[in-house]
Amino acid sequence: MFAEINAKLDTLEAFEERLTIVEATREPPESPTGDQTPPRNNRRNNTDNSPNPDAQYLKNIKIDVPNFDGYYDPQFFINWVLQLDRYFALYEFTEPRKVKYAIMKLSG
């Protein structure tokens, strides 16, 4: 069983390296107006030190990442990894916790 997990982790690391290369070659999106001025301070963009109501709201939303079943389409895997990255960014996982969660989502 550990050999299977290690093999899946090796595959995951190889895909992660490919994803890093793809992301490095992608150009960042430009702002639609070309304006680089920072947003004004208002209720939705609270820049002072008061608690952010959106952060509390986001913590109450239940979001899950689909399992990866070992499907051999590289684009499917890359999309799955991107979903994991967005999930990890939303919930601010530590690196060891990210690995454990990704292992739980491997089912193939």
pLDDT tens digits, residue range 58-85? Answer: 667 777 888 888 778 888 889 989 999 9
CA distance 48 to 50: 6
- Domain parsing of the chain, residue ranges: 69-108
CB 105 within 8 A of CB 84: yes
Report CA 54 to chain centroid distance, whole Å.
Answer: 19
Name the pTM for this structure.
0.45
Pick from 71, 93, 96: which is nearest to 15 by CA?
71
Q: Which two tokens stand for residue 42?
A: 């208002």
Residue ranges, the chain, pLDDT below 70: 1-2, 27-51, 58-59, 108
